[in-house]
């Protein structure tokens, strides 16, 4: 996949939606547009729910990364908007946190085809569950 989740950070307080964020990177050799991508969240053992769409979206150039935070920037009750040096940020404009428990999966999809996906692990240093390698 061209888009890869590099880091996931859950909010310490469910009301502090702006404090939940993730870093998305374009690992392809071409620019990637995120316009219209569905944001789908699946809790462990449950079907995914579409939380919304990325609109108007943004372009990521080859090798570029962006910090995406869950909340609404102007809502002070949702906490401080995170920053990371050298990264621009993009708000998902959600009212609730996405990563409630380990095992929660976040997918970005276009026309029901996954463009990027990540499984949250609160114990992992970068917040991302290690991939399980399947052998025959």
State the pLDDT at residue 136: 46
Is there a domain that residue 133 lies in? no
Question: CA 120: distance to chain centroid?
Answer: 10
Whether residue 87 lies inside any domain: the answer is: yes
In a domain, 58, yes or no: yes
Q: Would you state the pLDDT for residue 47?
A: 87
pLDDT value of position 132? 54
With a CB cutoff of 8 Å and minimum separation 6, the contacts of 74 are none
pLDDT at residue 131, rounded to an integer: 72
User: Could you tell me the pTM of the whole model?
Assistant: 0.88
Compute the distance between CA of residue 55 and CA of residue 98 in angstroms, rounded to an integer.
18
Rounded alpha-carbon distances, angstroms, from residue 45 to 42, 48, 105? 8, 10, 10
The answer as to whether 130 is a domain residue is no
Q: Which domain holds residue 100?
A: 3-119
Q: Are 37 and 110 within 8 A, CB to CB?
A: yes
Considering the domain boundaries, does residue 59 fall inside one? yes
pLDDT, residue 133, reads: 43
Helix, strand, coil: what percent of the chain each, to 5?
5, 40, 60
pLDDT tens, position by position, for the chain (136 residues)? 689 999 999 999 999 999 999 999 999 999 999 999 999 999 988 889 999 999 899 999 999 999 999 999 989 999 998 999 999 999 999 999 999 899 999 999 999 899 999 999 999 999 999 875 444 4
Count the domains in the chain.
1
Show contacts of 49-55: CB within 8 Å, 24+ apart.
51/92, 51/94, 51/98, 52/92, 52/93, 52/94, 54/90, 54/92, 54/108
The domain that holds 27 is classified in CATH as 2.60.40.1260
Q: Is residue 54 part of a domain?
A: yes
Q: Is residue 132 part of a domain?
A: no
């Amino acid at each position: 996949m061209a888009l890869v989740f590099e880091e996931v950070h859950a909010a310490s307080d469910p009301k502090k939606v702006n404090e939940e964020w993730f870093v998305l990177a374009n690992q392809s050799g071409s620019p990637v547009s995120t316009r219209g991508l569905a944001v789908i969240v699946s809790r462990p053992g449950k079907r995914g729910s579409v939380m919304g769409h990325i609109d108007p979206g943004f372009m990521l150039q080859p090798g570029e990364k962006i910090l995406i935070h869950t909340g609404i920037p102007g809502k002070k009750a949702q906490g401080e908007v995170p920053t990371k040096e050298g990264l621009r940020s993009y708000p998902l404009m959600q009212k609730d946190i996405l990563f409630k428990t380990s095992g929660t999966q976040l997918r970005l999809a276009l026309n029901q085809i996954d463009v990027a996906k990540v499984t949250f692990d609160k114990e992992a240093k970068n917040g991302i569950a290690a991939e399980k390698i399947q052998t025959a």
